[in-house]
Amino acid sequence: MLVKCDKCQAMYMVDDSQVEQKKGKIACTNCQNIITVEGYEEGSAPTTAPPEPTAPVEPPVVEKEEEPSLALSPQVEKYMEMLREDPKSKVFVRLADEYIKGGLYDEAIHVCEEGLEHNPNYLSGKVPLGRG
């Protein structure tokens, strides 16, 4: 079965036996859009040949800005002071979030890496790493 992403128009081939009489979801590898795939009841699959798949469209390249895109919150100074007083504090997550909002991705990653050295099992501390 041929499946097309509604967002970027990329085409994917899905094995009919995997979705027969089922409904499933797949993520577009091109744009991360969630595509709902509905299978056919046994024996009722379309008899016409599907159109030829096309190569996924390359998304436009967006360059990161070197300068912060937003002004930093006044909370940044507060969080930095809290971390200076207690380097093991979990406030590093809040500081990293503020850095991300301000476009300071490298700083956010650095703060998370340092915070996770003191709190390696703190899962919420890993979330900003994925966003930074």
Please give the domain boundaries of the chain with CATH numbers for all domains. 2-38 (no CATH), 75-131 (1.25.40.10)
Q: For 38-88, what is each residue's pLDDT tens digit? A: 765 555 555 555 566 666 666 666 555 444 444 677 888 899 899 899 989
Q: What is the mean pLDDT of the chain?
A: 75
Q: Rounded to whole angstroms, how far apart are CA atoms 24 and 22?
A: 7
pLDDT at 91: 92
Residue 127 makes CB contacts below 8 A (sequence gap 6+) with 93
Give residue 72's pLDDT.
73
Sign of the dihedral through C-alpha 130, 98, 62, 2: positive
Predicted TM-score (pTM) above 0.75: no
The residue-averaged pLDDT of 93-98 equals 90
Q: Which residues contact 84 (CB under 8 A, 6 or more apart)?
A: none
